């Protein structure tokens, strides 16, 4: 159920985790270990924005083993940001932390609502050759032709 129009059930920790991880991975790929920085660094904020805020909010969830596991999982993504297995492990750890704390789940959903409202159409795209669109024609691939005209 998606009563808020977010694209996921805000009461499902695993679905919220699936929505959080692309933001965090994008932040890590942009700024690396500085994702944990609490300084008001405009360059870091511009590059990492919502992913950084989401990671820091989950990290600040207290001394729970699940929050500590999220920190370790983010650090694994920092060490190997292109490894899909580290992304999957992060998703599992975030889901467990959210399932443990209904308050944290509510706070993270609120952040996601803000994040999706701040991006045109709420689009988050990660990975090589990925494409995001809020509408219009999108053509991907190599050596495509449109109306007989080669695209480069």
Q: Where are the domains of the chain?
A: 13-150
Structure-block tokens of residue 28 = 């890590």
Which helix (H) or strand (E) segment holds residue 26: the answer is helix 13-31
- Would you state the pLDDT for residue 2? 45
* Residue-averaged pLDDT of the chain: 77
Helix axes of 65-79 and 42-59: crossing angle, nearest 10 degrees: 140
* pLDDT for residue 149 is more than 90: no
Measured CA to CA, the distance from residue 92 to residue 18 in angstroms comes to 9
Is residue 145 classed as helix, strand or coil in its secondary structure? strand
The 10s digit of each residue's pLDDT in 22-80 is: 988 988 888 888 777 766 666 666 657 888 888 888 887 667 788 889 989 999 999 99
Enter the DSSP assignment of 141: S
């Amino acid at each position: 159920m998606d009563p808020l129009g977010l694209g996921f059930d805000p009461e499902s920790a695993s679905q919220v985790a699936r929505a959080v991880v692309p933001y965090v991975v994008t932040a890590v790929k942009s700024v690396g270990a500085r994702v944990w920085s609490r300084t008001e660094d405009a360059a870091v904020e511009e590059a990492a924005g919502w992913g950084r805020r989401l990671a820091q909010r989950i990290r600040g969830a207290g001394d729970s083993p699940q929050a500590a596991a999220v920190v370790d999982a983010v650090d694994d993504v920092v060490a190997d940001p292109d490894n899909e297995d580290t992304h999957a492990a992060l998703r599992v750890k975030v889901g467990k932390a959210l399932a443990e704390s209904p308050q944290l789940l509510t706070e993270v959903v609120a952040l996601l609502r803000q994040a999706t409202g701040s991006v045109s159409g709420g689009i988050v795209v990660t990975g090589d050759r990925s494409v995001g669109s809020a509408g219009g024609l999108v053509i991907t691939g190599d050596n495509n032709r449109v109306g007989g005209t080669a695209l480069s």
